[in-house]
Amino acid sequence: MRRQSNAALASLLAMALLAATQVRAGSSDAAPALSTPCSNCLRIPVDHGQLTIALVEANTVRVQFRAERTAGTSAPAGGVDSLMLDPAWQPAVLPNVRQLETASTRELDASDVHVIWDKAQRELRIEDAAHRLLLRQHDLASLAQGKLQLTHDAADAMYGIGGYNAIESASAGLLRQGHQLATAGAQGHAGAPFVWSTAGYGLLVNSQGVSFVLADAHMDVQTPVGNIDYFILLGRPTEIFGTIARLSGHTPLFPKWAMGFTNSQWNIDQKELLSIIDTYRRKHIPIDNFTLDFDWKAWGEDDYGEFRWNPVKFPDGPSGKLKSLLDQRGMHLTGIMKPRVHVDTVEGRYATSHDLWLADTATSDDYFSHKPVRVIDFDKAAARAWFFNDALKHSFDTGIVGWWNDEADDSGGDSQFLNMQRALYDGQRAYSDQRVWSVNRNFWLGSQRYAYGLWSGDIATGFASMAGQRARMLSAVDVGAMQWGMDGGGFTHGHPSNENYARWVEFGAFTPIFRVHGDFNEKRQPWLYGSDAEAAATDAIRLRYALIPYIYSYEYARHIDGVGLVRPLAFDWPRDPQVRNDVDAWLFGDSLLVSPVVIEGQTSKDIYLPAGTWTDWFSGKAYRGGQRVRIAIDSVRWHDIPLFIRQGAIIPTQPVMDYVGQRPLTQLDVDMFPDDRRTTFDYYDDDGSTYAYEHGVSFRQSLALQRQNNAVHVEIGAVVGSCTPALAFYLLKIHRGSASAVNRESAALPSFDSLDALVKAGGEGWSSGHDRYGAVTYVRVKAAVAQDVVLSLAR
């Protein structure tokens, strides 16, 4: 176990459409629908209630069924108390929506979506921008029984609702069919009452306690009886998830150090900790975070032992001296947190006197301290306000700067884990401007508002378990859990083989949260797995660190657009049947496709590459997409990662450092693979540690790339944001083309005989050369300056 349009009208509309966004602070009863006409909505009387249909985003329809009151009763609340909707969300003002009415229909017509109410058939139809029928809702009388019935094309591939826990089979992959229960679940499960299709739509039900039956050409949804609130979202997968982020909340940025490598360990003391970190540094194996299990805290002791340092194992923890020693080494400490408190303690008696315990849970003996404990109810605002208490503030001040929240999934319900991390997020943000980081053992949509990462639970060691993590990660992404990680090397069932460890680290290097961990006394340092595994793991970690500028830019992109660093291939190729249920490969940002080795002793691997041109990162060999390719695998030294570059790629990299921010980054290398289509990348940076970016203190500059006939155009946009980083130059590496001239704003840049000469000159210019990808042109230009660069290619 462990671990803007008439302002008044807009205001009225907002009041109506915010009816079901109540968040556990009081009533779960939705406010009554307004009878005032609105330009963006239809109100339809139906059996036993009223239906309000409104356009709330350019691509989103909100439907609310308001059950009629019976004499002497209040309106049934239904299941609107879901915590999914962001309290700050408000419907968009959409001035170009038209209401149309004929003898047989009433319609809402907008550029991206068309809503048709068929009066005779008593049927609601949803069409896309091209008037293609996507969804049909019928039998509206069943809404009074909490039933929602929709039909769609039988060929539509369906995703979402839930992922997998640590021990169940993930063989079904990503597609969803049959009976599905939306729940946060336990042990690495991710869930949401959200189903979507690559056909161009999604359904989000704003409720807990929702089940789905997906079969053939229809979906049947059962919600709690009463008021019903749901959203129909249209668009490509990335557009749908952008809307999900607006509705349920955007993710705050993790600290930049969290883009790096984390080593977790159970059973450790200060002496061993420092020894391990010093070994990482001596071997130049990059690492930024060490996560401590029970060991860091005075677990079981009175006077807030659950929240403060263990002075025996970590004698320099309480004084802050250990923090100082780690700061000198560029290391961060994060620590485990539990949802329970020892009863016969000062903190336990406080919880009793203030009614903070979770109802219907009994006192039990803790498996680690063997003393009586009970679970805190984090759905209570008072419990959340208390949890980031003075003792925990002191631990934070002295070095515990992130939270590994464990076992709140054992309590049942969808919101316990969400609210546990909400307590830490709200507490830390009120106390410090230092960014919040966490990993947690389940996920419910809305959790992401609280700097919430998910890890896949107490998984077993071994190749089969490692292979299953692919479906676990991608299915979690399919319900909005974009910040995902796992116990690299496996947690239970002993010690991974050297090969298994090496391959697991290579896999982990291409996940959002990169960490290793093991059970009690199990250690996951690379040098403990033989020289071949150490070399393979070290190279994977160093590659991760070279890609930090790329990764961190996608951290910001996820914060803005809702789509994370990792995504299934169906997000970008929704019409390709070969990727409907592909868990073998995924996109790592827009430009990289990775397919880790997960089979013991594998000597070759067949990998499906979607449409386009792809280049092997390591060999430089180019492949035509839309086919399956076979590549050789190193079964002896495990020193390869199947990694492919998408044509049009823009990939910023940096020199490998022992930890994030070890040295100022003054030159950013940017690998570019021009395509006939225009591609873009927004390079992003900020201070990496505070929330100043929320106030515009950041650096963002767009890079665009396109090949046109015998020229390559690179557009570098104006800087957005008030941050001024150390970055002085971009070294653009334009692959597969040797330039005869390079011009900026029609003026020629100076040329140099070699890359070394160009760099040594210390200024701007260009040179030609050759690398594993073939001919390459190097162009060095000033950063933070808007400019257009044109390469004339040699014929």
721-758 CB burial, b ≥16 within 10 A, e <16? bebebebebbbbbbbbbebeebbbeeeebeebeebeeb
Decide: 561 and 567 in contact? Cβ < 8 Å.
no
Q: How far apart are CA 362 and CA 276, in angstroms?
A: 40
Residue carrying structure tokens 């690998």: 671
Please indicate whether residue 220 is annotated as part of the active site: no
Distances from the Cα of 648 to the Cαs of 281, 629, 711, in angstroms?
36, 20, 14
The catalytic residue among 409, 426, 671, 687 is 409
Helices (H), 627-784: 755-761
Residue carrying structure tokens 């959200």: 194
Q: How far apart are CA 185 and CA 192, in angstroms?
A: 10
Residue carrying structure tokens 């984390």: 262
- Extract the tokens encoding 424: 């830490």
Cα 353 from chain centroid?
A: 39
Decide: 62 and 231 in contact? Cβ < 8 Å.
yes
Q: How far apart are CA 274 and CA 283, in angstroms?
A: 14
The catalytic residue among 458, 487, 590, 687 is 458
Decide: 737 and 790 in contact? Cβ < 8 Å.
no
- Specify the pairing of strand 667-672 against strand 729-735: parallel
Among residues 388, 341, 336, 331, the alpha carbon closest in space to that of 361 is found at 341
Dihedral angle of Cα 548, 600, 609, 738, to the nearest 10 degrees = 50
Question: How many other β-carbons are positioned within 10 Å of the β-carbon of residue 70?
Answer: 10
Q: How far apart are CA 345 and CA 107, in angstroms?
A: 63
The catalytic residue among 29, 379, 406, 487 is 406
Q: How far apart are CA 419 and CA 411, in angstroms?
A: 12
Q: How far apart are CA 189 and CA 684, in angstroms?
A: 31
Please indicate whether residue 406 is annotated as part of the active site: yes
Amino acid letter for position 641: I
DSSP letter string, 747-784: EEPPB-SSHHHHHHHTSSEEEEEEETTEEEEEEEEESS
Positive or negative: CA dihedral 334, 339, 343, 349: positive
Active site residues: 406, 409, 458
